[in-house]
Each structure stands twice: as structure tokens, then as C-alpha cells.
């Protein structure tokens, strides 16, 4: 039997489904003291229906960072930066991904911010 051309590493990610249907995927890699927190939402430009191409998904992606009931836009950015992290997002054809990369010791603070943004954004009227 011949050797494969490429040896792929074994998948070491754990996957759990929470009672609310949210899937949690964790893959530990201790080669670097960095944590990447990501919230993948199954929505993108393909879901814009009659407004396809209008950029509504991308617009909403940006609006989620404009404030929650606990933090305004500046506090979101400042909290992540104070933890040494970087926050961003992107919208694609079939998904929108909100993410924060942070030094490992800032993961709890940044997870709190990410959860706040994706679950409690207020979409302030003055930002429209």
C-alpha cells in the first residue's frame, strides 16, 4: 500500500450542541498563547431575498458593533483592546462571522463582549 501524498492531522475539535441549538466547537492548540473566539451565523447575502445585492447582511454585521444594553460602541472596542484583543467580522454568501482574537489571558473578557454583541445588540436608531 502506498503512502498518501498529504497527511492531514487528526481532527481534535470537540463539538457540543447546547439546549438552545447553538453548536459549540472547541479546538485546543497550546502552541501559542492566543484564543480565537468566533460566532458563526448562518446568514449571508444569499438570504437577502428580493433585496439580494443590497448589502443588508453586511450592513447588519456592522450595526451589531454599535452598542448593546451594557456597552456602547466605544466600550465594545475599548474592552477588547484593553484585553489585548482585536475584534472584527465578515459577511459572506452564506454566513456572517463575528470574531475576536486575544491573548489567552483575555479570553473570558472577550467572550463576554462577543456574547453581548451577538445576543444583545440594540441597533441604535441614530446609527442608521
What span, in angstroms and rounded, lies between the C-alpha atoms of 74 and 55?
Answer: 24
61 is a catalytic site residue: yes
Cell numbers representing residue 10 in the block? 487528526
C-alpha to C-alpha distances, 33 to 36, 87, 103, nearest whole angstrom: 10, 17, 6
Catalytic residue among 50, 61, 75, 126: 61
Q: Give the per-residue SS3 of 39-91.
A: EEECCCHHHCHHHCCCCHHHHHHHHHHHEECCCEHHHHHHHHHHCCCEEEEEE
Q: Which residues are catalytic?
A: 61
Amino acid at each position: 500500500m502506498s503512502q498518501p501524498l498529504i497527511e492531514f492531522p487528526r481532527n481534535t475539535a470537540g463539538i457540543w450542541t447546547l439546549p438552545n441549538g447553538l453548536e459549540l466547537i472547541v479546538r485546543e492548540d497550546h502552541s501559542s498563547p492566543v484564543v480565537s473566539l468566533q460566532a458563526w451565523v448562518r446568514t449571508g447575502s444569499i438570504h437577502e431575498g428580493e433585496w439580494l445585492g443590497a448589502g443588508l447582511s453586511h450592513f447588519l454585521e456592522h450595526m451589531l458593533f454599535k452598542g448593546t444594553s451594557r456597552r456602547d460602541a466605544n466600550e465594545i472596542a475599548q474592552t477588547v483592546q484593553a484585553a489585548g484583543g482585536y475584534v472584527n467580522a465578515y459577511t459572506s454568501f452564506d454566513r456572517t462571522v463575528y470574531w475576536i482574537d486575544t491573548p489567552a489571558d483575555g479570553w473570558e473578557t472577550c467572550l463576554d463582549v462577543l456574547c453581548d454583541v451577538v445576543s444583545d445588540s440594540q441597533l441604535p436608531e441614530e446609527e442608521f
